[in-house]
Structure formats: C-alpha cells, structure tokens
Structure 1
Amino acid sequence: MKKPPTILLTGGAGFIGSHTCAELLHHGYELIVVDNFANSTPRVFPRVERLTGRHIDAIYDVDIRDRHALSAVFDRHSVDAVVHFAARKAVGESMQLPVEYYDTNIGGTTSLLRAMQEHRVHRLVFSSSCSIYGDAGRGPLDETTPARPTNPYAASKWACEQVLADVCRRCPQFTVLCLRYFNPVGAHPSGLLGEVPRGTPGNLVPYVAQVADGRRDRLSVFGADYDTPDGTAIRDYLHVMDTAEAHRVALEHLADGPGMHVFNLGVGAGRTVLEVIAAFEAACGSPIPYQVVPRRPGDVTELVADPTAVERAWGWRATRGLADMCQDAWRFQQHNPHGYAGRAQQRAYQGATP
C-alpha cells in the first residue's frame, strides 16, 4: 500500500491553516505543522483531530525565520511538499508596522526556501493575496492584472511571489502553486473551527460576529463614500472551507508540471460591507449596530476575482455562498464566545522544539 504524502504546513494553527489541516487529514495526508503561535493557539489542534479522528504527526513551536530550528524539522521528517501560510496578514496593521511585515513575510519565505533547497523538497503551495492587485479598478480581476500594491502587507506578498518566480527560473525542479485569496471568511460547519483573532479583529466578519454576540458595541464601517452602489467598499468573500479544499486540490496538481503557476481563489462576485452586515443580521436574527468612520489608509474601492483560470485548470470552483459564510461564522461565535479556551479542547498540547 502506497504511503500517503507528508505535507509540512507553516502557520498551520491559523484561520486558513487549521481548516486546511482538517481538510488534508480527512483526505488521508500525513501532516507536520510549524507555527510560532504569534496570532494563533495550539488549542486548535485537538479540535482538528476530534473532527477528523486522526492525529497530526508532529507540531513544532518554531518561527520559520529561525533557519536552524526550521532545518531541524526537515531533518526529522521526510517531507513531500510544503503549504506556506505563515505570515502577518492585516492591511491596517501593516501601515503601522511595515518593517515587521517585510521581515516576517519576506524573511520567513526566504528562510523556508533555503531549508527546502537544503533538503531537496521542491514542491510548494504558497498563500498569496488578492491585495497585490491594489487599486486595479472595477470588475473581476484575472491573474494577468498588473500588481499595484497599496500597503506593506500587499507589497510583501507581491515581493514573495517575485522571489518564488525567480527560484523557479533558477531551479527548474521547483513547482510552486501561488494562490491569491479573495477574503476568506466563515468557519467549519461543525462550529469547532473558526477565526479567533487576538485583540481587536482586523477583518470584517469576525468583528461583526463579536458585535452580534455583544462583545463589542458597534462596528466601524471604514468609508461610505466609495463609488459603489451603497458607498461602501466591495470585496469578493470566499468561504474558508472552499479555501481549504482548494489547497487540497492544489496539492493534487503539484505534479502537473514544474515552474510557478498563479491562480485566483474567489467566488467571482463582489459584496459591499453593508451587504455583508445585512447577511449577518439574517444569520443571527438581530440588527448589527454600526457607524461610518473615515476610510483606512491602504484600502481600495473594489477587489473581485475572475476565478475562471483555476476552474479551467483543475475543474475546481467555490460552491458556498455568503449566507453559508455568515451562518457558519455565527455558529462558531455562539459556540466559542471566548475562542478556543473552551470545552472542545480534549488533550493538552505538548510543545515541541527541534
């Protein structure tokens, strides 16, 4: 019987990372997780294992910029491919902490690539972002749209893509699938996994969920003077379960051919902030108080995906709608008002360092 592939996930305790862990375990993969838990918690892993009935092979408390510690992880395991999530990810915060964003996102990626090269691991799925398109104008954006990053977070992701493209040109044995996400939201339908930001949420849906649950008084809507139907910014929202599924499909297509291949992940339709609020009100059955405040630096009017390339290449497309996203996010919030510090934790996490 053929041994299932072993996948190393950086940032596997995070929002998208944890849902991808569950998706991959459910489909028989063996997993190694590396995370420094700067914006996540190891308490998520017992929930992942409870959902799937399987164990993660190893979990390491390691910052991927620590090349010695990261190399030791590769020494201990025979890794077939890497899924690279580990990064800082908040647009607003990146405007205040540009050096930290470049250091973590670019420095972490180059450190990972060095470790992969040293251990002859040449297959990578990279977590990129639609934010690299910046203020590209109205309408769906395809993968040929020029990059126009408007904030340090987006610029760091674009720089990582350039590094990866250069590596693939220099090292033809490398295969990199670069996935540009358009606003993943929602939660696992079980209510066991979801988005648990530390401190004040930097993204719309988890903030709305906390307002609906009474943890916060009201939502701040950043700008109502955009050139959109209701004046608020438009984004393409993608269910996190669709996002996780796309990573599993990407791993299945790493053997398609060497080089770097870029794909948008999105629904292909935009929703305004006020439309998302209305959908969440329908999910929770109560009004969401909000106030309009000035725009945030670095934000753009509209970001909507043209996802036809990934459907054409892999036969994959997102299937869950905004109602599903809001209902699942609300279910998680109701079941976990204080995040992962609840009853679903079944076994203590034993931190491991190489």
Structure 2
Amino acid sequence: MRVLITGSAGYVGAVLTRMMKASGHEVTGVDTHFFRDASVLDGNNGTNQRSSDIRQLQVADFHDVDGVVDLAALSNDPLGNLCAALTFEVNHLAAVRTARLAREAGVSRFVFSSSCSIYGLDSREPLTEADPVRPMTPYAVAKHLAECDIARLATDDFSPTFLRNATAFGPSPNLRLDLVVNFLTALACVRKEVRLRDDGLAWRPFVHVADLCQAVIATLEAPREVVHNEIFNVGRSDNCHRISEIAELVTTTVPDSTLGAAVESLHDKRSYRIDSTKIFRAIPGLRLDRTVRQGIEELAEFYRSIDLDEEDLVSGRFERLAGILRHQRTKRLDDRLYWTGAA
C-alpha cells in the first residue's frame, strides 16, 4: 500500500515510518520539522520526507496514495493551551481539510489519530467507544470536532477510521519527555528520585508507541468493512493506571531510584480508563502486548544509550511546548506557527 503519513517525523511518526516500511508499505512522510532538535536517532530510515505544513497541502500531494495516516497536530494539552484558536485551526480545521483533500484525490483509507483524552472526566467503569465524551481542554475538544466532521466525509469510496489512542510511552527516534511514563523514567534514571507534580490519583490508559503503530498498520490492512467510519480505543484495559502507580512502577524497576514527596498537592480532573475490547474483536490478529513495566525497562536502557543527562531534563529539548516557545523567541516561528525563514 502507498501511504502518506502526516507528522511523520514526530514521536509516533518516526516509529511508524520504520514499522510501515518493514511491513512492506511504500511510505511518504509530511512534517513541519518543528521538533527536529528532539531527534536522537535517524528516524527517516530512507523514507521520502516532505517538509510541509498540513495547512498548506494541496490535492496533488495525495495523488497516487492509497491510504493516509493523519498524525500531525499540536500534540498535547499544554501545547494546545498555548492558543485555543490556533489549536482548533490545526487540530480540527486542518485535519478535516486533509481528509477532504485525500478524498478528492481518490484516497480510499484515512486513519485519524485521535485521543482518549476526549473522554475527559472521571468514570467508575472503563469507557467504551459508545460512551459519552466530555473533552475538557482545547486539544481534546478539537480532536472530538475533527472526528465528527471527518466522519461526515465517509463515502462508499472513502473510509475514515478514528483511533482514540491511550497515552503513549516508550523509546522513539524523536524523543518526548512530556509524556508521563517517559518523564518519570527519565527522572529515575538521571536524578534517582521521582517526584510527582500533583496527587497522582488521576487514572490514565497507556499504550506503548510501537503497539500504537501496530494498531495503525493493522487498521490500514484490515478489510474495509471492518473499519469503515469506526472509532476504536487503542490500548490495553490492563494498562490503565493511576499516575501514582506509574511512579511506583518506575522506582521499583529503575535500580537505585526512590519516590519522593509530590511537588504540589494539586488534583488533575482529567481522569479516565478505557475498554479496548472493540478493536481486538474487529481485528483478531492485533496484539498490543507491551506493559508499562516493559516500557520502563526499555526506556531506561534507551536513556543510557543516548547518555540522557540533567541538561536534557531542564533544557526543554524533548518537550513540545518548550520547543515551540524556543522557536518563537528566536523568531523562527511566527504567531500562527509558520516558519519565518529566520536563521
């Protein structure tokens, strides 16, 4: 299959391009390269990469493409909170425009990377795709609006699928430390002490980045009638943990690390667990086997291999919001997050 991936150089995209090529697919990547400074390995792997903003794509960019994986977004709540209007422009309007262009070009399959964060509020029971959503942040609201509007574009010839991904973790050629498992493991490896930023009582579902990518590939390869205009939670029901549990897993996995007192006694209202039964029933061969503990072990080894140090923790090099703000301070990005051409 000939696949175009937006956001191909990012945390998920750098892993996905490698895995898709290994699966025999012909891959073209599109990325703004906002976060090239976070690259610790060559994530290109011979992929044809175009430097472009999804807001500027044209229908010709989708010619001779069978499937699109739309990863491009302002990728978390802190970044989404930077400017709500810009978040809606990129994560909602540009995503819908991308789907519309793909449909016009004759693309048959469209996988939209959504988020379990759209569930928002605490629930006593794990949430299924049929449960109401309560998005609480501009990022989550924009993702939900994009789901709704892209779904309306579905036809007999254009099949969108929506993957509501759990919080990702694990190594990537384009590293992120603004993901909770990755960050807490980095604290344990570098400072030998893990301290939470709040009370740690919030629930989160988690998925290894390689498993997330496997779900994307399986969705593209699945029979059309199985995934046409469907929503799937992506994660494992037994990979749902309180943040405090993640901290304990980290300190019991990383040698010589301890759990310190929380920095603040705040409570995160964003709290949810998911039920992922639907995707496993729809795609019986799909396996998402990696546990959080296994991811922590992989991360610890990965951090040793790249010599992660204190400077990496405090510089913001591996945090998306810090990266954007750094580009804006140096006038490389304007207020609408377009490259200015400044050196």
Query: What is the TM-score with the length of structure 1 in the denominator?
Result: 0.79
Q: Which runs of 5+ in 2 are unaligned?
A: 318-343
- Work out whether residues 176 and 254 of structure 1, in 8 Å CA contact, stay in contact via their aligned partners in 2: no
- Partners of 2:270 and 2:35 in 1: CA distance: 25
Q: Which residue is 2:279 aligned to? A: 310
Contact 1:129 1:157 in 2 (8 A): yes
**Counterpart mapping for 1:133-282 below 5 A:** 133-168=119-154, 171-187=155-171, 193-194=172-173, 196-197=175-176, 201-214=177-190, 219-224=195-200, 232-253=201-222, 255-256=224-225, 259-269=228-238, 270-282=240-252
Q: Is 2:29 the partner of 1:60? A: no
Distance 1:266 1:31, change over 3 A: same
Distance 2:202 2:139 in 1: 18
Q: How many residues align?
A: 307
| Percent of pairs with identical residues | 25
Aligned with 1:103: secondary structure? helix
- Post-superposition offset of 1:159: 0.4
RMSD (Å) for aligned C-alpha atoms: 2.5
Unaligned runs of 5+ in 1: 50-54, 188-192, 225-231, 342-354
- Most deviating of 16-25 and 148-157: 16-25
Q: Deviations over 1:294-331 (max 9, x none)?
A: 4377x423x22211111111112421112111111222
Q: Return the offset for 1:88.
A: 1.0
* Superposition pairs of residues 286-301 of structure 1, within 5 angstroms: 286-288=256-258, 289=260, 291-295=262-266, 299-301=269-271
Retained in 2: the 8 A contact 1:92–1:296?
no
Rounded to whole Å, the distance in 2 between the matches of 1:271 and 1:206 is: 15
Distance of 2:256 and 2:165 partners within structure 1? 30
Kindly tell me: are residues 195 and 330 of structure 1, through their superposed partners in 2, closer, same or farther at Cα, counting changes over 3 Å?
farther
Q: How far apart are residue 195 of structure 1 and its match?
A: 5.4
Higher relative contact order (CA 8 A, sep 6+): 1
What is the SS of the residue equivalent to 1:167?
Answer: coil
Q: Deviations over 1:220-255 (max 9, x none)?
A: 43235xxxxxxx212121111111111111111153
Aligned to 1:74, which of 62, 84, 91? 62
After superposing on structure 2, the runs of 4+ consecutive aligned residues of structure 1 that deviate more than 4 Å are 40-45, 215-218
8 Å contact kept, 1:172–1:259: no
Match of 1:109 in 2: 95
Provide TM-score, normalisation by structure 2.
0.81
Q: Describe the shift of the 1:23–1:41 C-alpha distance in structure 2 as closer, same or farther (beyond 3 A).
A: farther
Would the aligned equivalents of 1:90 and 1:153 in 2 still touch at CA under 8 Å? yes
Could you give the per-residue CA deviations for residues 96-121 of structure 1, whole angstroms, max 9, x where no partner exists?
42122111111221231232133111
- Note if contact 1:195-1:206 (Cα within 8 Å) is conserved in structure 2: no
